Structure 1
Amino acid sequence: MSGMTSVNVHEAKTHLSRLLDRAHAGEEIIIAKHGKPYARLVPLPGRQPKRQAGTLRGFVEITETFFEPLPSEWRGEE
């Protein structure tokens, strides 16, 4: 769940636990005060964002030939 979300202080206080989980999963949360960015909630350095299943759905196509052996020129045999 990568990306950036902006919430106001009241919403941040009300949903802090949920926002922490989202930041832990890799999302950047901007907390705004009086409509202006005030603080940023991000995961700790070195933490890999949790992978989201289905992120590339519709972008990758596995055809029937996917599991066939590679041609010899691809394997460096010619």
Structure 2
Amino acid sequence: MTDNLDLAASAQELADNAPAGSVSRAAASSVAITLATTRDTIHARNTLDGLAPAEVRQAALDLFERLVTR
């Protein structure tokens, strides 16, 4: 199992490669920060539910699911 910090590093890499100002970059950055600052993936997933706007929240949740299921 991959821990939160490994997942955060993967999300940060995606954020770094996404276009500046894009929803993808905002979502990946949010996932990276959330994973780096929460104790486990359950806590991270619950925290991501509070993101706004909805477009970024959905993109972040989709990315989070992809990362944790690989």
TM-score by length of 2: 0.27
Higher relative contact order (CA 8 A, sep 6+): 2
Q: Give the greater-gyration-radius structure (CA).
A: 1
Query: Quick check: which one's strand share is greater?
Result: 1
TM-score (norm 1): 0.26
